[in-house]
């Protein structure tokens, strides 16, 4: 009798499940935007525009965002050389272009590069910025791009793997 009641309860329970719709939002993932295709503007390092911050910009009213000075100071072997932080535009969200020392970058393995982008990308993400990493030759080395429409923001890291094997050639 107990076995019969259990199987009847199981049958009733399983037959009711299809009547409760599962929210489609659970299965959806947010689209992470592609990294900006805007050119790196190295001339802004010496001639900054209004609303553009660099490692050389001093904000007299308080901390500038994103706050990357601490990350630059602790950057191992002076890997992070400078950055340019752009405000949001009509077509793009805020972004920071990091400029790294190519000699140091070429000594890092894939995981060390990933870790560097992840750490600085996480710092910039807190202030609502996406990140691109360049060398002074304006070669894109990696990106940290987020969709800020969700909480927490969904982010993606991309590394230019053409530089991954350079130090072994």
48, part of any domain: yes
User: Residues 46-76: pLDDT tens digits?
Assistant: 887 877 877 766 654 444 555 665 555 555 4
22 in a domain, yes or no?
A: no
| Range with lowest mean pLDDT among 6-10, 21-25, 94-98, 143-147 | 21-25
Domain-located, residue 28: no
**How much of the chain exceeds pLDDT 90, in percent?**
33
In a domain, 14, yes or no: no
Higher-pLDDT residue of 167, 127:
127
So what's the pLDDT on residue 58?
Answer: 61
Residue 134 has pLDDT above 90, yes or no: yes
User: Considering only CA atoms, which of 71, 76, 56, 77 is closest in space to residue 144?
Assistant: 71
Q: Tell me if 29 is assigned to some domain.
A: no
Query: pLDDT by residue (tens digit) across 84-97?
Result: 889 888 888 899 99
Containing structural domain, residue 154 = 41-168
Rounded Cα distance, 86 and 51, in Å? 7
Looking at the domain assignment, is residue 9 inside a domain?
Answer: no
Residue 121 located in a structural domain: yes
User: How many structural domains is the chain composed of?
Assistant: 1
Cβ-contact 84, 44 below 8 angstroms? yes
Q: What is the pLDDT of residue 162?
A: 65
Mean pLDDT within 27-52 = 79
Provide the CA 156 distance to its chain's centre, in angstroms.
Answer: 6
Q: Is residue 2 part of a domain?
A: no
| Residue in 75, 151, 82, 150 with CA at minimum distance from that of residue 115 | 75
């Amino acid at each position: 009798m107990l076995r019969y009641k259990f199987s009847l309860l199981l049958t009733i329970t399983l037959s009711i499940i299809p009547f409760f719709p599962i929210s489609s939002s659970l299965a959806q993932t947010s689209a992470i935007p592609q990294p900006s295709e805007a050119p790196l503007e190295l001339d802004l390092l010496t001639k900054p525009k209004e609303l553009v911050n660099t490692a050389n910009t001093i904000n007299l009213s308080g901390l500038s965002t994103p706050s990357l000075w601490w990350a630059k100071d602790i950057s191992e072997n002076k890997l992070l050389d400078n950055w340019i932080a752009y405000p949001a535009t009509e077509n793009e969200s805020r972004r920071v272009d990091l400029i790294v020392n190519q000699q140091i970058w070429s000594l890092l393995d894939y995981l060390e590069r990933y870790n560097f982008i992840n750490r600085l990308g996480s710092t910039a993400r807190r202030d609502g910025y996406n990140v691109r990493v360049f060398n002074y030759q304006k070669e894109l080395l990696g990106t940290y791009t987020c969709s800020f429409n969700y909480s927490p923001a969904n982010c993606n890291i991309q590394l230019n793997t053409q530089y991954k094997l350079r130090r072994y050639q």
